[in-house]
Amino acid sequence: MKKKMFARAVKLGFFMILAAAVLTGCRFGFASDPDDPNKVVKEEPIDVSIDRFEYDSSLSGARITLLNSKAEIQVALTKMAEIFEQESGIHVEVMPVTDGDSPYTKVVSMYNSGTPPTMAILDTTDVIALAKEKAADLTGEPWTGEAEEYLTRVDEMVYSFPLCIEGRGLIYNKAVIEELLGEEFDPSSLTTQREFVDLLDRLEAAGMKRPVSLAKEDWSLGAHHLQYIYETYDGTSEGAREAIEAIKAGTLDLKTYSRLDQFLNMFDVLKEHNVAQKDPLGADYDEMAIDLADGKTAFWFNGNWAWPNLREAGAENEDEYGFLPYFLSDDPQDFANSHIQASPSKQIMIDGKVASEKEREAAKEFLRWMVFSEIGQQMIVKTCNLIPPFQNNPYEPADPLSRDIYNKVHEEKAFNASAIVPNDHWSALGSAMQKYLAGRSGREELTESVEGYWESQK
């Protein structure tokens, strides 16, 4: 830990240089500098000696495009496209969404100009908005049977390819906790909010001033935190939709909704133990990774997409990082206290309006290749560092955050609930959450903000 502390100032300076908007699993997250092709990155080797995938030779020579809104895999996707072209003869141009641009706005503008991408990596909300008018029907594709639980359906039709599973919760640094407390830390032993608070109190008594890092960004507060009130309604996407519709209709009163009260209880715990408690809106996102890796804090609320931040801060694949649930109650039988939220956060949509038949078939070939070819399966996990939603993929992620989510999914310790909300939800209600975080509003005002937002959506 002391060795990591030595490099702290240098790393922080590096982060400040890169501190553009940080792209998350749903909209924004860390981008590992896709504009620097000369950057040396340690890569998992890919075995290309075995490939039993049957390529359609009639598609050779096709040229298609892929709009990528997941910036941290821009370089990896480009490499994947190069290998795919070598094997299939199909050229895939990977086009990044510019920092600060909305993927939805970008793809709509491309449609308006008459030059939409053949494929686009979009948020689930965006796919649902565009599916019927713009997307190709993928219902009959063979990979649907390998990811049945993670498919997004619009009127019983499949219009998108689930690219990856991403999960979120309280990231912990196991070694730091054990070093400070002088005992083994078993994450599964925590099953209630009270037990989590007791651990925080013990860490502070042992010398850690405040153990939690809490991001101030509106996308984190308005999406990753607040959306628990919908997603934990019953732990399903249908349940999240039901909760949202009931709030809109006024049949679910937020003032008496237990999940909102429980959520705010947990958020208050994080506020109280926040390392940036004195200036919560001045917290620096990039420094949080350094704090966790160096041991200044023990927990950071985030998702497995934060691994590039931690890796830059000195964390290694062999280190023991993982996720605790977002503890919502003191009931050990409450699924929210024992399960991690994990769902398909990014989808690939194929254009069904402008692309030629050959281009659409070439795009479908690319998606099939990612699922069924030995090379594609490896590259999704090892090159792109994604958690595949397809049950036939035998490869496991290398980094500890993705590996922990992967294990929890396979151990049925994750709940697959995605709250489908309007594009401005995270910004509008993220602003209200920032006021609450800073102590400039109370529960009543925050509740009224949530009610007012959904009232405006009728």
- Pick from 345, 419, 406, 395: which is nearest to 162 by CA? 345
> Do 259 and 265 meet the contact criterion of CB atoms below 8 Å apart?
no
Residue carrying the six token digits 């937020």: 254
pLDDT at 42: 61
pLDDT at 8: 43
Residue type, 274: N
- Calculate the CA 422 to chain-centre distance: 17
pLDDT at 272: 98
Q: Torsions phi, psi of 48, nearest 5?
A: -100, 10
pLDDT tens, position by position, 262-306: 999 999 999 999 999 999 999 999 999 999 999 999 999 999 999
> Do 342 and 409 meet the contact criterion of CB atoms below 8 Å apart?
yes
Contact residues for 137 (Cβ-Cβ < 8 A; gap 6+):
157, 158, 159, 352
In angstroms, the CA 347 to CA 219 distance is 19
> Do 20 and 99 meet the contact criterion of CB atoms below 8 Å apart?
yes
In angstroms, the CA 323 to CA 153 distance is 29
User: 351 pairs with which residues across the strands?
Assistant: 135
Residue carrying the six token digits 């209200």: 432
Q: Could you tell me where the DSSP H helices lie in 59-123?
A: 74-88, 103-112
Using DSSP bridges, classify how beta strands 119-123 and 321-324 pair: parallel, antiparallel or unpaired.
unpaired
Using DSSP bridges, classify how beta strands 340-350 and 414-415 pair: parallel, antiparallel or unpaired.
parallel
> Do 119 and 351 meet the contact criterion of CB atoms below 8 Å apart?
yes
pTM of the model: 0.85
In angstroms, the CA 92 to CA 77 distance is 10
pLDDT at 2: 39
- Cα distances from 455 to residues 249, 418, 430, 436, in angstroms, run 8, 21, 17, 20
pLDDT at 9: 41
DSSP string across 268-336: HHHHHTBTTTTSGGG--HHHHHHHHHHTS-SEEEEEGGGHHHHHHTT--TTS-EEEE-----S-TT-GG
pLDDT at 26: 39
Q: Report helix, strand or coil for 264.
A: helix
8-state DSSP, 411? T
In angstroms, the CA 181 to CA 179 distance is 6
pLDDT tens, position by position, 382-425: 999 999 999 999 999 999 999 999 999 999 999 999 899 988 89
pLDDT at 27: 33
Burial of 279 (0-12, 13-18, 19+ CB in 10 A): exposed
- Pick from 65, 59, 69: which is nearest to 31 by CA? 69
Residue ranges in the chain whose pLDDT is less than 70: 1-43, 99-100
Using DSSP bridges, classify how beta strands 119-123 and 340-350 pair: parallel, antiparallel or unpaired.
antiparallel
- Cα distances from 224 to residues 202, 258, 367, 427, 433, in angstroms, run 27, 19, 28, 12, 11
- Cα distances from 439 to residues 36, 102, 258, 308, 432, in angstroms, run 41, 30, 22, 31, 11
Residue type, 28: F
